[in-house]
Amino acid sequence: MQKIPNHIIVASSAWISKILLAFLQVYMVRLLLLLLGNDNYALFAVLTGLMGWFALSDLGLGISLQNHISEYKSGNKEYSEIVKNVIGIYSILMILAMILFYFISGYFSKIILKEFSFIDEEKKRFLFLITGELFIVMNFSSIIYKIWYAELKGYIANIVPVLGYILSVFGIYILGKYKQNFSEPLTYCIAIFLLPNALITFILMLLKLEFKKIFFYDGLDKKMIYSVFKKGFNFWFFSIMAAGVLQIDYLVMARYLRSDEIVLYNLLSRIFIFIFFIYSSLLTALWPEISMEIYKSNIEKVKSQIKKYLGIGILYIVTATLLVVLLKDYIVNLLAPGRLIEFPVYLIIIIGFYYLIRVWTDTYTMVLQSVNILKPFWMLVPIQALISLFGQIYFVRMYRLNGILYGLILSFLLTVSWGLPYYTRKYIFKKGSYGN
């Protein structure tokens, strides 16, 4: 009997977990809208929509470590010590990031949350602070997911978030039952939403850690640590630029759009993020195997995999977008019963087109990053970030919510949608092997 490829097992577990998460999120959105109302839910959406910015605090070390483990595994080398060393240093960086954020949170809360005039400045700072601190813990601790994926145990990384989300939904449900006892439920909603996954991943990360490695520097493999950090900083620079492309939307909306428009965007985004996650989970599971095939110079197999999964992704997004159009009224009633919310068909099609572009670019991104080829991103993504920022600000003033998507789409079409395939051919296909 032929063995099922590991990336299929991992991707399947991701699909199952994401389906469970989708049902939980539907229920969570219903609970939050009933509990918070449009204005507070819009603020909740903006705060939790900043996750990508807080993810920058990890300095890119998670992806770098995953690639190092894959490289070690391809050569049948032992990697456990480097994992423990990196996590030890990682824990110290997490504490430093939390201390730094405590001092700068007040400044940024005034800028980002300026238009939410229904709460005072002190409350804005407090909400921004607890959101950021929990995100920092969660994002640093999620390095354990990268390790599991590199060890071809990605199914564990797909199960853990579901457990955390179940606890969050249960907590929000209990809060809704006793909401009369809480004058300001928004703070509790944010804490309950983030705390379970933050604690679970933090505990699991600690289980991989040998504390003595932190205090006895002679025990560190200095050369390998340097390599992980050097390549991690390269990924970090790329992540900063990527955040300028993908994480600008809520910052722009918080400044220019009404609460009801932010709620509409958040609901549609949740639907399409779920849809796209099914494909991105497949890419994440495929990542270490593509990495090993390139290191082994099996380029024809890599080409075949790219064509195969691009075809699957494009067909999948087109089908999913049509289903959202057909079922939009049912979806609105499911997510926000009794609310005067309508999903415009044109907006659904625009978002679907955006995610078609993402299938194309994310596939080539995975191939290049799997072997630490980052030069194309240094050249393309800064330009893309600028186009995204100014494009969204320009178009949102004329086209409101649609303008956010116009700015995003334009930034992709003018840069990475053609650039990443070009550099994949240049650095991998034409060389016939891995090369920076």
Which DSSP string corresponds to 185-248? HHHHHHHHHHHHHHHHHHHHHHHT--THHHH-GGGS-HHHHHHHHHHHHHHHHHHHHHHHHHSS
Whether 217 has a pLDDT exceeding 50, the answer reads no
What's the mean pLDDT in 208-226? 57
Q: Quick one: which of 428, 147, 425 has its CA closest to 295?
A: 428
Residue with more model confidence, 314 or 435: 314
Q: What is the pTM of this model?
A: 0.75
Q: Quick one: which of 388, 356, 355, 351 has its CA closest to 265?
A: 351
Residue with more model confidence, 100 or 25: 100
Separation CA 269–CA 275 (nearest Å): 10
Extract the tokens encoding 113.
């949350």
39-97 tens-digit pLDDT: 888 899 899 888 888 877 777 777 777 777 777 766 666 666 677 777 777 778 888 88
Separation CA 60–CA 372 (nearest Å): 12
Give the number of other CB atoms < 10 A from CB of residue 358.
21
Q: In the predicted model, what is the mean pLDDT of the chain? A: 83
Whether 207 has a pLDDT exceeding 90, the answer reads no
Q: Which of 175-184, 188-197, 212-221 has the highest mean pLDDT?
A: 188-197
The overall longest dimension of the chain from CA atoms, in Å, is: 66
101-113 tens-digit pLDDT: 999 988 888 888 8
What are the φ/ψ torsions at residue 220 (nearest 5 degrees)?
-85, 145
DSSP string of 36-59, one letter each residue: HHHHHHHHHHHHHTTHHHHGGGGT
Confidence of residue 432 (pLDDT cuts 50, 70, 90): low
What's the mean pLDDT in 358-376? 87
Lowest mean pLDDT across 66-80, 112-126, 382-396: 66-80
Residue with more model confidence, 421 or 227: 421
Q: Which of 6-20, 267-281, 316-330 has the highest mean pLDDT?
A: 316-330
Do the beta carbons of residue 193 and residue 48 sit within 8 Å?
yes
Extract the tokens encoding 243.
């955040």
Residue with more model confidence, 26 or 399: 399
Helix or strand run (H / E) with residue 304 = helix 299-326
**DSSP-H helix ranges across 49-120:** 51-54, 61-74, 80-112
Give the number of other CB atoms < 10 A from CB of residue 199.
16
The pLDDT, as a whole number, for residue 11 is: 64
Whether 431 has a pLDDT exceeding 60, the answer reads yes
Confidence of residue 327 (pLDDT cuts 50, 70, 90): very high
Secondary structure letter of residue 3 according to DSSP: P
